[in-house]
Every structure is written in structure tokens, then in C-alpha cells.
Amino acid sequence: MIFLDEAAIHVQAGRGGNGCMAFRREKFVPRGGPSGGDGGDGGSVYLVGNTNRNTLYHLRFASLYAAERGRHGEGSNKTGRAGDDLEVSVPLGTVVYDAETGERLGEVLTDGERLRIATGGRGGKGNARFATATNQAPRRADPGTEGEERHLRLELKLLADVGVIGLPNAGKSTLISVVSAARPKIADYPFTTLVPQLGVVAEGPLSEPFVIADLPGLIAGAAQGAGLGIQFLRHVERCRVLLHLVDLSDIEGEGSAAADLAVVEKELGAFNPELMTRPRLIVGSKLDSALPERREELRQAAEERGLPYLEISAATNEGVARLVGELARRLQQPAGAV
């Protein structure tokens, strides 16, 4: 399955059925009067949350999502059948926007949640509705109204408790492969991870499992679209806790640990300033090959920011259990106290 976190769709709600103009024609009823029934309402289009979906890829295969139109009214005061609603399943965390106006129409966060994105047209009134004491044989029946038609833009923001962020090759994929059953691609070159990866972490039988997201590495200018750009940053907004990995080994020999930390912080703040107030842990990675000067730089940078600092080696598992325990502890606290 190809991961796709953006999609554009065209939706059309059903048109309402026309009202009927008819008169009773029965034996022994010479003045039967009007008997035209109302038209049925058109079906609406809904987005429905589905926990079994994890991508918007399936929406690429239809150019139009249209609900059923309402049936016309009939004689003998028969109301037309309402059109069936159309339900489009989407993964949890989907946000929908009107592509033409940019208006945010809503989001789907829970399994089975229904979000109406296009309202069906109203059925027209039949002539029986217009009968009065002074107009006992009205010759008027209203047509049904058109259903809403919209071009929509859908965005998927992954729902995860912990988001692992950092520069490319900081060790994010290795960490998530160690603490969960997820198996992201791991290699010794930048941008190994091209799409977010989710894993479930279970610290122990008494702890509640939590979801951790391995998010693609970003570079300077990501908030303006450089590298993977906002395709990465969008998913950070959903995470309750940010785990900021910084490479302590510095194989390239470029820059300081504090500078690497600042690059990611700058992009987070440029994309959404609220992200800088999100609970965050600074974690030095690759402890098995760490340089002493980088360890000290990163420790001082964490102290200056008043943020907790841990060191790990995913390759040797050193410090990993402590990190998982700290994450579990913070997630068990009330949302405002994480």
C-alpha cells in the first residue's frame, strides 16, 4: 500500500426530486382535488472514520463521489423516495478543506465518526401542499433543489502519542524498530524514511501501550517546502509529546550538537509556533559512538531550554528502557501536565 497523506476529490450531493402535480381521478369522487406528492430529498456525502485505513491512497481511483438523487413525487399523495447517502471511508486524523475557498470544513478523529461534506438537495413540494380554501385546485408543484457540489482537499495528520523528530540520519528509524514491531527502512544515508511510520510501544503489562511515529527527517528551510517540507511537519501537530533526537557521533564532522538542535527548532517554530510549547524531550542518539564534546554541548543546550535530557544507543539498547519508561510516564499524566 502506497502512503498518501493528501488527496483532492470532487463530491456531488444528490438533487432533490420534483414535486408532482396531479388530481384525484376516482369513480364517485367528482371533485377529488389535488393529490401530487412531494419529491424525495437527495442523498448527502459523508466522510466516515475507519481505523482500518491508514492512507488516502484509495481516493485516487474515482474522479467523482456522487450521492443518489431523490425520486420525484407521484400522484395519490405519494412522496418520492429519498436518495441514499454516500459514505467515503477515510483514516482517522483526516482534515477536509474546500479547495476553492480554503475553508476548513472539519476533521474525522474517531472510528465511525461521520462528517457531512455535501448536503443533499431538498425535495420539491407537490401541488397537494398548495391547496387552500380559495385555491382548491392549485396547478403548482415545486422542482427539487440541487445538491451541494464541492471540490475538496483532504489532508491526513497521523494520530500518534509520540513523534520522533530530528535531522536526517539522527537514528529515528533505528529507535522505532527497537521499541516497537515497526520495521522502517534503515540505512546509512539521509532521507531513508520517506513516509511516516507508526509503531505501538508496550512498556509492560501494567502500562497502557502508546503509538510512536517515526517522522521523516527535515532540513533547514523545511517550513518553506525544502526537503520533505510540510509533508513532515503536518504530522507533528497531532503528537502529544515530541522526542527530539540529536546525533552524538557527528560522522560528517559538520556543526555542533547545539546547532543541529536549533535547526529543527527553527523549522518547528516557523511552521507552527505552538509546537515550541509542546512537551519535548531532547535525546542524544548513537551513544555507543558519541563524541564527548557533542554530549556536553547537547546537555548544556537542554539545560538552557529547561528540557529533560537523555542519552541512548538503539544499537546496544543502552538507555532505551529508561526512555520508554519516561515517555509512558509523561503520557499517563493529564494532557495539560505532560
Q: Where does a domain end: 156, 178, 198?
A: 156
Residue 227 is predicted with a pLDDT of: 43
Q: How many domains does the chain have?
A: 2
The verdict on 235 and 175 lying in the same domain is yes
Count of all residues that appear for the chain in the document: 338
Same structural domain, 221 and 152: no
What is the tens place of the pLDDT at every residue in 161-197? 898 888 877 888 888 888 886 554 444 434 444 466 7
Indicate if 20 and 137 belong to the same structural domain. yes
Cβ burial of 204 (10 Å; 0-12, 13-18, 19+) is exposed
Question: 336 exposed, middle or buried (CB, 10 Å; 0-12, 13-18, 19+)?
Answer: exposed
Angle at 157 between CA 151 and CA 159, to 5 degrees: 140
What's at 66, amino acid-wise? A
Q: Which domain holds residue 255?
A: 162-337
End-to-end CA distance of the chain: 34
Let me know whether 288 and 321 are in one domain.
yes
Owner of C-alpha cell 511515529: 213
Q: Are residues 202 and 263 in the same domain?
A: yes
> Are 187 and 223 found together in one domain?
yes
Based on the domain organization, do 190 and 299 belong to the same domain? yes
Question: Within 10 A of 302 (CB to CB), how many other CB atoms are there?
Answer: 23
Q: What is the largest CA-CA distance in the chain?
A: 105
312 & 227 share domain: yes
Distances (CA, A) of 247 to 269, 295, 306, 316, 317: 21, 9, 20, 15, 15
Cβ proximity of 244 and 302 under 8 Å = no
Cα(6)–Cα(82) distance, integer angstroms:
32
Closest CA to 282 of 310, 305, 256: 310
Residues 100 and 240 in one domain: no
HEC states along 240-271? Answer: CEEEEEEECCCCCCCCCHHHHHHHHHHHHHHH
**Residues 143 and 213 both lie in one domain:** no
How far apart CA 161 and CA 211 sit, in angstroms, is 5
Give backbone dihedrals phi and psi of 225, rounded to 5 degrees, phi first: 110, 0
Cell of 144: 427539487
Residues 247, 291: contact at Cβ < 8 Å? no
| The domain boundary residue, chosen from 156, 174, 209 | 156
Q: Is pTM beyond 0.85 here?
A: no
At which of 138, 156, 174 does a domain end?
156
Highest mean pLDDT pick, 54-58, 253-257, 314-318: 314-318
Q: Are residues 10 and 145 in the same domain?
A: yes
Shared domain for 166 and 144, answered yes or no, is no
Q: What is the pLDDT of residues 302-336, one digit of tens each?
A: 999 999 999 999 889 999 999 999 998 888 876 55
What pLDDT is recorded for position 252? 60
CATH number, position 23: 2.70.210.12
Kindly report, residue by residue over 75-120, the tens digit of the pLDDT: 999 999 999 999 999 989 899 999 999 999 999 999 999 999 999 9
What is the pLDDT at residue 217?
56
Q: DSSP labels for 5-55?
A: -EEEEEEEPPPPPPP---B--BTTBTT--B-PPPPPPPPPEEEEE-TT---
- Per-residue b or e along 232-261, where b marks 16 or more CB atoms closer than 10 Å to that residue's CB: bbbbbbbbbbbbbbbbbbbeeeeeebbebb
Domain with 215 in it: what CATH number? Answer: 3.40.50.300
Whole-number pLDDT of residue 163? 87
